Amino acid sequence: MHQGRLSYGLITLLALISVPFPVQTASNVQMSASTRARLIARAEQVTGDKFPVVTSTPNGVAVFAVATPSKDVLAAIDKGFSDLFAVARRHGYQNRLNFSAYTVFIARADRTKDSAGQYSPDIAVPAGQYAGGYYDQGGYIYAAGMVLAFNPSAFVFAEHERDFSRISNVVRYEGEHIILYYNDRPLYEKTADHSKGGGHPILN
């Protein structure tokens, strides 16, 4: 298992890829109907799922899900963002540090255990730049989470029935890409593509 920078092995390197899909809109908080439709279509394209459930976390993160998320799941999402915002502030970052700026999609897991047999709800996605590499599973890889868009700021992860701290980690780690995109573009460019190495946390 990966250790150290990947937080005791809960998240694998391959799980933390970014798929930019910029949508220009004045504010994430007031998302237009057309922007919302495009974002949902993007999530459906990536995961093959439909997202009939629309809700939010106690702190105001918008959530689209394949099934109604539990209170524990919603709390774990907020915890991940709280951790992300805290470390971002330590680095002097100021942009995108509000819960309502983010949208999270919760998709069905394509697997629930990793190759070592550990609980690991992940999504199968095309290998892309990882093709032919260590994580290539025959044209696809397994991702714990993926950035879907920067504006509005959105990402997707798989449903969890337990180990909700893993959700918090995925939220923090995917959120790092978005925070860096808006606050430190050189570091974002350096760390966005994990196929060349590197992992999370990027910010300590």
Predicted confidence at residue 32, as pLDDT, reads 86
Predicted confidence at residue 46, as pLDDT, reads 87
> What distance in Å separates the CA atoms of residue 47 and residue 106, rounded to the nearest whole number?
10
Residue 77 corresponds to which amino acid?
A: I
- Supply the mean pLDDT for the chain: 81
Assign 194 a pLDDT band (cuts: 50, 70, 90): low
> Within the chain, how many helices (H) and strands (E) appear?
4, 9
- 3-state secondary structure (DSSP) of residue 120: strand
| Cβ atoms of 102 and 177 closer than 8 Å | no
Enumerate residues 6+ apart whose C-beta is below 8 A from 142.
12, 14, 15, 110, 111, 114, 120, 122, 123, 124, 125, 135
Predicted confidence at residue 43, as pLDDT, reads 93
Backbone angles phi, psi at 18, to 5 degrees: -115, 135
Task: Give the tens place of pLDDT for each residue, 66-108.
Answer: 999 999 999 999 999 999 999 999 999 999 999 999 999 999 9
**Mean pLDDT to the nearest integer, 146-174:** 94
Q: Which long-range contacts (CB under 8 A, 24 or more apart) does 78-86 make?
A: 79/168, 79/171, 80/167, 80/168, 80/169, 80/170, 80/171, 80/172, 80/175, 81/171, 81/172, 81/175, 83/168, 83/172, 84/171, 84/172, 84/175, 84/176, 84/179
Task: Give the tens place of pLDDT for each residue, 59-77.
Answer: 999 999 999 999 999 999 9
Assign 143 a pLDDT band (cuts: 50, 70, 90): confident
**Mean pLDDT to the nearest integer, 27-35:** 69
41 pairs with which residues across the strands? none
Please give the residue that has the higher pLDDT: either 167 or 20.
Answer: 167
pTM above 0.85, yes or no: no
Q: Is the pLDDT of residue 159 over 50?
A: yes
